[in-house]
Amino acid sequence: MSSDTSKQLLEVRGIGKSFPGVRALNNVNLQLKGGEVLALLGENGAGKSTLMKILAGVQPADEGHILLDGEPVEIKGVQDALDHGIALIHQELNMATNLSVGANIFLGREPQKRGLIDEATIYERSKRYLEMVGLNVDPNIIVGDLTIGRQQLVEIAKALSVDARVLIMDEPTSSLSQKETETLFTAIKDLRKRGVSVIYISHRLGEAKELADRVSVLRDGENAGDLPKEEINHDSMVKLMVGRDISQFYSRTIHKPGEVALEVKNLRTPVHPTHELNFSLRAGEIVGMAGLVGAGRTELLATLFGVTPNVGGEVLVSGKSIDAQSPEEAINAGMALVPEDRKLQGLILEMSVRANMGLASLKRESPNGIFMNDEREGEITQLMIQQMRVKTPSEKQVVRYLSGGNQQKVVIGKWLAMEPRVLLLDEPTRGIDVGAKQEIYGLMEDLAKSGVAILFVSSELEEVMGMSDRTLVMHEGQITGELTREQLSEEAIMQLATGNTEAA
Amino acid sequence: MKTFFSKLIGSQSEGMKRVLGIFVLLMVVYIITAIINPNFVGAYNQENLIRRTSLFGILGIGVALVIITGGIDLSLGSVVCLVGVGVPWLITDQGWSPWIVLILAIVIPMLIGLSHGLLITKLRLQPFIVTLCGLLIYRGVTRGFTGDQTAGFGTDLKGLRWIATGEIPLFPGFGIPFPAVILIVIAIAVGIFLNRTIYGRYLLALGNNEEAAKFSGINTDRMITLAYVICSGLAGLAGLLFVLDLNLAQPVDFGNFYELYAIAAAVLGGCSLRGGSGTIIGVIIGTALLRVLRNMMNMAFLGFQRAEFAVIGAVILGGVIADELAKRAVARKRAAQKQKQEG
Ligand SMILES: Nc1ncnc2c1ncn2[C@@H]1O[C@H](COP(=O)(O)OP(=O)(O)OP(=O)(O)O)[C@@H](O)[C@H]1O
Ligand SMILES: [Mg+2]
């Protein structure tokens, strides 16, 4: 590998790509030097993932050239890209979760001995690559048993095993814990030292600042500009992405909360059946729920919403006890849950934006509980598309083809359409760009003003601190503390989140 | 009228192209057969063809609902056997009151569907396994209690048999077989259910993503169970009509392979075995295609009738291959057009 880092390793010239009804990329250029970490930023639907998929051979470009070491190359498929040393780690992990770590790393390239898979070699070599990314697990462990963060590292190890020179990571940290994120960053910095170039996509601008040697921004499928290392800061990045200044990121006006809307008494979830949870939520209140990944926050929301029935305790909505054994009952009581995993739990991917938006309110809007109300469905969809600024060619577009952030907006829209009294949000801004984040924060504020009680789980401390009237902190299935706006600090949250209750 | 029709069919445009495709195929096979053997278009044969298509269409519609949920029902043929043999056996051999027997002929299949649905949703057994066992059990039971004896009505129940054998005269020498009326009524009812009611939307949604449907407040277990109940119920109705039509039912082979005809028709008509998509009109055209093919083997390629399965298999395979290729060509053309427009 050449140690001359001034020469361009990878160059993209005039790339264009269209989908039915969408011009995803238009005359896009990009350069990457050896050993450089490039942060690729842009709003939802800007075309980041599409560009990366083209580089990795997942999709062909309609026009334009790709040059490697100054030589034009044609990338016809994923194998082609790998042969050229370009590896993509997808926004969604693609692993055979039923196979071992080693088997995944060498999937499709298994070393053989006398016609049989050479397990010993796989084991040894896997171990080496895993060490490179700072992951200390036995290669024989089944991938499905690892946390998402560790699976991510296995993907990187896999990329290294094919001698990747260009490693593309599409929103790798969106489901990682703080600690896993740190490990990942260490691994990336290590790779840079080895001369591997990294293209890093993220909506967390702090990460770009920490990692990137250079920032390149896409807007509406076109180059919006680059920032050299010295000029990388929050405001300059936002300005390039949105084309305007976003000041006043968190717009909260504190008002007097109303009646108790949700009361939780001695609730026990099936995952942590020995802990009893108690808290309440008032109308017009926004309560944040912080904690480390795996603290039991998602389980709590799922239990409240009747997805996994509780094993004890009581839940009252507006003073009325409900024993939600299914989401249907929770919805009837006026609750809504925006789930953590939009693809698995939030969306019917093969259906249209419109069908998805209407899904949770079908019964409510039906004139007689049997027939659909087409007109209302159309109205609701239009309203939500406008309110949430969903970027879609039409309401008929199949949701699978929307960008990640726009899919998330559809999920949220679906739930707002049923006008909930208690809104549960599980990581609502995951994978969402700054502009849309601000819109969602604004929406939360508006909803709170109109009397909706909001409980939102988030792993982004900044967002919890910016948005909540009160913050509950969980640790291993228990609520370890409650912080008012005055008591709120990153430290106080981390203390409680790690189970240290004395400090608060 | 046009909007009413499209509302009935739903807005699955992908599916509509598919339906058009097999409709063309149906026409081609139809015309070829007619040219080779003019008797094919004779009134007698046409009436028969319509009658058989109607009966098999009822089975296809039922199994389509189950396929839309992402499931499968392999027990249809045995339910047809159970009802088709059971009804004449109870009435003629055992002397039961026809009315009680008719009620049982509808209720028992629905209970069978209910048990399938509950086993699949509550015990989380796989539809393939549950209904495969059903296939074995219901036929075995029928053969057991009748001692493998052929059952029929003889000269009784002429009036009742009219709903299967009767026809509505259209012009001298040709009438619409009454089962076609039954099929149309069922098709419209199920079409409305699937495309105009919230429950139809629920069914399509859960067929695509059961988890997300559940999170949206849909009682997915109940909807899936309902699909199996309707499916078995329609199979029971079809079984009854089959025996009323034929007046003879032999437990060993009555309804044999019918589940496969029904599934094939549904797949030809655009139902994906992955669930979540399908149109009723497609299923009916798919059924008609299979019936015409069979008829063609008997009338136009005498001596090759035994190869019927091979021909049907080849046509289905050819159909889905052509469909897939067409889809890709369309996608490519669209991309090229797009580029030209903008470039
Ligand atoms: N297969 C496809 N068919 C149709 N449209 C598509 C397809 N893939 C992407 N698009 C569209 O192309 C545009 C760019 O999408 P892309 O996924 O690249 O955005 P992104 O920058 O990665 O956004 P996000 O930050 O939300 O992930 C979007 O408008 C999207 O809807
Ligand atoms: Mg993306």
- Phi/psi of residue A489, each to 5°? -155, 160
Inspect the interface and report whether the beta carbons of A363 and B334 lie closer than 8 Å.
no
Residue B75 falls within a domain, yes or no? yes
Mean pLDDT throughout A51-72? Answer: 93
Q: Is the pLDDT of residue A135 over 50?
A: yes
Q: Is the pLDDT of residue B310 over 60?
A: yes
Residue B22 falls within a domain, yes or no? yes
Task: Dump pLDDT digits (tens) for B188-218.
Answer: 999 999 999 999 999 999 999 999 999 999 9
Look at residue B318 in the predicted model and tell me its pLDDT: 84
Q: Is the pLDDT of residue A264 over 70?
A: yes
- Identify the CATH number of the domain in which residue B192 sits: 1.10.3470
Look at residue A165 in the predicted model and tell me its pLDDT: 92
Closest approach of B202 to chain A, Cα-based (Å): 8
What is the Cα–Cα distance from A20 to A13, expressed in whole angstroms? 23
Look at residue B1 in the predicted model and tell me its pLDDT: 40
What is the Cα–Cα distance from B339 to A502, expressed in whole angstroms? 64
Please check whether residue B342 touches A, CB under 8 A: yes
Domain span holding position B71: 13-323
Q: Is the pLDDT of residue B278 over 80?
A: yes
Atom of ligand 1 nearest to the CA of A53: 18
Look at residue A502 in the predicted model and tell me its pLDDT: 61
| Minimal-distance CA residue to ligand 1 atom 22 | A49
Q: How large a percentage of chain A has pLDDT more than 70?
A: 96
Q: What is the DSSP-derived secondary structure letter of residue A314? A: E
- Say if A8-242 and A259-334+420-437+447-504 have the same CATH topology: yes
Please check whether residue B228 touches A, CB under 8 A: no
Look at residue A30 in the predicted model and tell me its pLDDT: 95
Look at residue A204 in the predicted model and tell me its pLDDT: 87
Task: Dump pLDDT digits (tens) for A331-384.
Answer: 999 999 999 888 889 999 999 999 999 999 999 899 999 999 999 999 999 999
Q: Is the pLDDT of residue A503 over 70?
A: no
ipTM for this model: 0.83
Look at residue A244 in the predicted model and tell me its pLDDT: 67
Closest approach of B218 to chain A, Cα-based (Å): 6
Average confidence score pLDDT of chain A: 88
Mean pLDDT throughout B59-83? Answer: 97
| Minimal-distance CA residue to ligand 1 atom 19 | A45
Q: Is the pLDDT of residue A112 over 50?
A: yes
CATH homologous superfamily of A259-334+420-437+447-504: P-loop containing nucleotide triphosphate hydrolases (3.40.50.300)
Q: How large a percentage of chain A has pLDDT more than 90?
A: 51
Look at residue A2 in the predicted model and tell me its pLDDT: 42
Look at residue B338 in the predicted model and tell me its pLDDT: 56
Q: Which residues are found with C-beta within 5 Å of the ion, ligand 2? A: A 49, 404
Look at residue A6 in the predicted model and tell me its pLDDT: 54
**Which chain A residue is nearest to residue B7, measuring alpha carbons?**
A374
Please check whether residue A360 touches B, CB under 8 A: yes
What is the tally of structural domains in chain B? 1
Distance A204 CA to ligand 2 centre (A): 13
Look at residue A379 in the predicted model and tell me its pLDDT: 94
Query: Least CB-CB distance to B205: which of A23, A339, A359?
Result: A359
Domain spans of chain A, in order of start = 8-242, 259-334+420-437+447-504, 343-419
Q: Which of A178-182, B244-248, B330-334 is least confident?
A: B330-334
Residue B241 falls within a domain, yes or no? yes
Atom of ligand 1 nearest to the CA of A91: 27
Atom of ligand 1 nearest to the CA of A221: 14
Distance A479 CA to ligand 1 centre (A): 39
Residue B338 falls within a domain, yes or no? no
Look at residue B13 in the predicted model and tell me its pLDDT: 55
Mean pLDDT throughout A63-79? Answer: 92
Task: Dump pLDDT digits (tens) for B216-238.
Answer: 999 999 999 999 999 999 999 99
| Minimal-distance CA residue to ligand 1 atom 29 | A45
Look at residue A4 in the predicted model and tell me its pLDDT: 45
Look at residue A222 in the predicted model and tell me its pLDDT: 93
User: Is the pTM above the cut of 0.90?
Assistant: no
Residue B334 falls within a domain, yes or no? no
Task: Dump pLDDT digits (tens) for A21-52.
Answer: 789 999 999 999 999 999 999 988 899 999 99
* Multiple choice CATH, A8-242, 1.20.120.1630, 2.60.40.10, 3.30.200.20, 3.40.50.300: 3.40.50.300
Query: Least CB-CB distance to B208: which of A332, A344, A351?
Result: A351
Closest approach of B331 to chain A, Cα-based (Å): 9
Residue B7 falls within a domain, yes or no? no
Distance A289 CA to ligand 2 centre (A): 27
pLDDT band at A98 (very low <50, low <70, confident <90, very high): confident
**Which chain A residue is nearest to residue B195, measuring alpha carbons?**
A372
Look at residue A5 in the predicted model and tell me its pLDDT: 45
Distance A403 CA to ligand 1 centre (A): 4
